[in-house]
Amino acid sequence: MVEVPLDELNLQDSEFISAPTVASTLYQCATAVTVVGFIPHADIDVQIDGADVITGAPGGFPMPDGVTLHLPSALTVGQVVLARQKFGGLTSNWSPPVTVRDHAADYPTGPPRPQIDPAPVYKCGSRTGVNNLLRGCEVWITADGVVVGRIKGAIQHQGVNVGPDYGLNQKVRAWAQMCMDPSPPSQQYITQNPPIPLPAPAVEDVYDGGEQITISGLVNGARFQVSRNGIDLGTGRTWGKMHTIDLSPPFAAGETLSVIQSMCPSDGPSPAGTGTVQPCSALPAPGVAPIQEGDIKITLTSFVSDARIKVFVNAIKAGDSGGPIVMLDRAIHRGDTIHVIQIVGTCTGQYAQELKVRCVDPPATYDPSALDLYPVGNVEYDGGTVTILGSTYHVKGTVYYPAEDDGDSQPFNERVRNHGPIPIVFMAHGNHKTSDPSHLGYDYFQIALARMGIIAVSVFSNEANGQAGGPPNIITRAQLIISSIAHFQNLNSGGDRLFGDRIDFSRVGLMGHSRGGEAVVVVPEIISLAGVTIKCAISLAPTNFGASWGRPTGYAFLTILPAMDGDVVDNNGAVFYDQAMPDPLKCQIYANHTNHNYFNRQWTNDDTRGELPIMARQDHERVLSAYGCAFYRNQLLGHNTSGFLLYKELPAGVLTANVHLSFAISEAAMTLDNFEDGNWIGTNSVGQPNTQLGGLTADEYPFSQGPFGRFNDSFFGNTIGMVTRSYETSGTFRWQLADPISLTDREVWIRCADVYDGIRAPATATGFQLGIESTTGNITWVDSDEVGGLPIPFDRRLHDLKRFAIDKTKTMLKTLRFSAHCLQMGHEEELIQAILVRMNASYPRPLAFDDLQII
Amino acid sequence: MTMSADSGKIEEKEKGEEEDIWRMPMILGIEVIHVHYIHPVPYFIKSKQIEIVEGIEFLVKTSEDFPVRALSPALFVGDFPVLDVNRIGENLYRFFVPAPEIDRLKTSAPISIGWAGLSAGKVTTEYRFQVQREESRQ
Q: In what order do the strands lie in the sheet with A407-408?
A: A407-408, A376-388, A391-402, A455-459, A422-428, A503-513, A534-540, A556-562, A585-591, A659-665
Subunit contact A804:B120, Cβ cutoff 8 A: yes
All residues at 6 or more sequence positions from A266 whose CB lies less than 8 Å from its CB, including other chains: none
User: Nearest residue on chain B to A517, judged by CA atoms?
Assistant: B70
Q: Structure pTM?
A: 0.95
**Among A126, A147, A288, A143, residue whose Cα is nearest residue A221:** A126
Q: Please state, in angstroms and rounded to a whole number, the distance separating the CA atoms of residues A334 and A519.
A: 45
Q: How far off is chain B from A414, nearest CA to CA, in Å? A: 39
Each residue's pLDDT tens digit, A37-75: 999 999 999 999 999 999 999 999 999 999 999 999 999
User: What residues does CATH 2.60.40.10 cover in chain A?
Assistant: 106-190, 202-281
Q: Please state, in angstroms and rounded to a whole number, the distance separating the CA atoms of residues B53 and A192.
A: 68
pLDDT (average), residues B50-66: 96
Chain A residues close to B42, C-beta within 8 Å: 389-390
Q: Which of A434, A470, A609 sits opposite B116 (nearest CB)?
A: A470
- Residues of B near A (Cβ–Cβ under 8 Å) read 13, 15-17, 19-22, 41-44, 46-47, 49, 65-66, 68-74, 83-87, 93, 116-121
The percentage of chain A sitting over the pLDDT mark of 90, rounded to a whole number, equals 94
Chain B residues close to A465, C-beta within 8 Å: 68
Each residue's pLDDT tens digit, A523-576: 999 999 999 999 999 999 999 999 999 999 999 999 999 999 999 999 999 999
Q: Please state, in angstroms and rounded to a whole number, the distance separating the CA atoms of residues B135 and A150.
A: 80
Domain boundaries, chain B: 27-72+81-137
> Is pLDDT above 80 for A363?
yes
Element (H, E) at A518: helix A515-526
Q: How many contacts, defined by CB atoms under 8 Å, are there between A and B?
A: 122
Q: How far off is chain B from A598, nearest CA to CA, in Å? A: 12
DSSP state of A633: I
- Write the burial class of residue A530 (CB in 10 Å: 0-12 exposed, 13-18 middle, 19+ buried): exposed
Each residue's pLDDT tens digit, B111-129: 999 999 886 678 999 999 9
- Cα of A725 vs its chain's centroid, Å: 36
Residue A821's pLDDT band (cuts 50, 70, 90): confident
Q: Which of A432, A471, A545 sits opposite B68 (nearest CB)?
A: A432
- Cα of B35 vs its chain's centroid, Å: 17
Estimate the share of chain B in helix, then strand, then coil, as percent rounded to the nearest 5: 5, 50, 45
DSSP state of A604: -
Angle between helix axes A471-493 and A515-526 (nearest 10 degrees) is 60
CATH code for the structural domain at A670-854: 2.60.120.260
Each residue's pLDDT tens digit, A623-670: 999 999 999 999 999 999 999 999 999 999 999 999 999 999 998 779
At A523 the pLDDT is 98
Average model confidence (pLDDT) for chain B? 88
Chain B residues close to A569, C-beta within 8 Å: 118, 120
DSSP assignment of B58-117 equals: EEEEESSPPPPSSSPEEEEETTEEE-EEEEEETTEEEEEEEGGGGGGPPTT-EEEEEETT
Q: How far off is chain A from B45, nearest CA to CA, in Å? A: 7
What is the CATH architecture of A21-105? Sandwich (2.60)
Subunit contact A471:B66, Cβ cutoff 8 A: no
Q: Which of residues 542-601 of A touch B (CB under 8 A)?
A: 543-549, 566-570, 572, 596
* CA dist list (Å): A202 to A216, A224, A277, A490: 5, 11, 13, 58
Q: Please state, in angstroms and rounded to a whole number, the distance separating the CA atoms of residues A725 and A697.
A: 5
> Is pLDDT above 70 for B16?
no
Judging by DSSP bridges, how do beta strands B133-137 and B27-45 pair with one another?
Answer: parallel
* CA dist list (Å): A461 to A276, A395, A403, A484: 60, 8, 26, 11
Q: Please state, in angstroms and rounded to a whole number, the distance separating the CA atoms of residues A582 and A824.
A: 28
**Among A831, A833, A736, A818, residue whose Cα is nearest residue A781:** A818
**Among A847, A815, A810, residue whose Cα is nearest residue A570:** A810
Subunit contact B85:A514, Cβ cutoff 8 A: no
Chain A residues close to B16, C-beta within 8 Å: 433, 604-605
- Rg (Cα) of chain B, in Å, rounded? 21
User: What residues does CATH 2.60.120.260 cover in chain A?
Assistant: 670-854
Q: Which of residues 662-721 of A touch B (CB under 8 A)?
A: 705-706
CATH code for the structural domain at A106-190: 2.60.40.10
Subunit contact B87:A606, Cβ cutoff 8 A: no
- Of B20, B41, B43, B46, which to mutate for an interface test with A (greatest number of A Cβ within 10 Å)? B46
User: Nearest residue on chain B to A546, judged by CA atoms?
Assistant: B46
Q: Which of A433, A549, A568 sits opposite B68 (nearest CB)?
A: A433
In this structure, how many other beta carbons lie within 10 angstroms of the beta carbon of residue A5? Answer: 10
> Is pLDDT above 90 for B5?
no
- Cα of A25 vs its chain's centroid, Å: 19
At B1 the pLDDT is 38
> Is pLDDT above 70 for A739?
yes
User: Nearest residue on chain A to B15, judged by CA atoms?
Assistant: A605
**Among A239, A234, A237, A247, residue whose Cα is nearest residue A206:** A247
Each residue's pLDDT tens digit, A753-780: 999 999 999 999 999 999 999 999 999 9
Q: Please state, in angstroms and rounded to a whole number, the distance separating the CA atoms of residues A436 and A646.
A: 36
User: Nearest residue on chain A to B12, judged by CA atoms?
Assistant: A604
At A828 the pLDDT is 76
> Is pLDDT above 70 for B11?
no
Q: Which of residues 447-466 of A touch B (CB under 8 A)?
A: 465-466
User: Nearest residue on chain A to B20, judged by CA atoms?
Assistant: A609
User: What residues does CATH 3.40.50.1820 cover in chain A?
Assistant: 376-658
Chain B residues close to A526, C-beta within 8 Å: 47, 49
At B3 the pLDDT is 45
What number is the ipTM of this complex?
0.91
Residue A822's pLDDT band (cuts 50, 70, 90): confident
- Of B35, B49, B72, which to mutate for an interface test with A (greatest number of A Cβ within 10 Å)? B72
* A112 and A134 Cβ atoms separated by less than 8 Å: yes
Q: Please state, in angstroms and rounded to a whole number, the distance separating the CA atoms of residues A80 and A78.
A: 6
* A313 and A336 Cβ atoms separated by less than 8 Å: yes
Residue A80 sits at the vertex; the CA angle it makes with A76 and A85, to the nearest 5 degrees, is: 125
All residues at 6 or more sequence positions from A683 whose CB lies less than 8 Å from its CB, including other chains: A677, A689, A690
Q: Which of A466, A566, A805 sits opposite B120 (nearest CB)?
A: A805
Each residue's pLDDT tens digit, A389-403: 989 999 999 999 999
Element (H, E) at A423: strand A422-428
At B12 the pLDDT is 53
**Among A630, A514, A529, A511, residue whose Cα is nearest residue A571:** A514
- Write the burial class of residue B133 (CB in 10 Å: 0-12 exposed, 13-18 middle, 19+ buried): exposed
Chain B residues close to A806, C-beta within 8 Å: 119-121
Average model confidence (pLDDT) for chain A? 95
- Write the burial class of residue A118 (CB in 10 Å: 0-12 exposed, 13-18 middle, 19+ buried): middle
All residues at 6 or more sequence positions from A797 whose CB lies less than 8 Å from its CB, including other chains: A760, A761, A807, A809
CATH 2.60.40.10 is the classification of domain A202-281: yes
Residue type, B11: E
In this structure, how many other beta carbons lie within 10 angstroms of the beta carbon of residue A323? Answer: 24
> Is pLDDT above 80 for B13?
no
* B79 and B55 Cβ atoms separated by less than 8 Å: no
* A342 and A311 Cβ atoms separated by less than 8 Å: no
Q: Please state, in angstroms and rounded to a whole number, the distance separating the CA atoms of residues A181 and A562.
A: 44
Homologous superfamily of domain range A376-658: Alpha/Beta hydrolase fold, catalytic domain (3.40.50.1820)
- Cα of A135 vs its chain's centroid, Å: 22
Residue B9's pLDDT band (cuts 50, 70, 90): low
- Of A482, A599, A603, A609, which to mutate for an interface test with B (greatest number of B Cβ within 10 Å)? A609
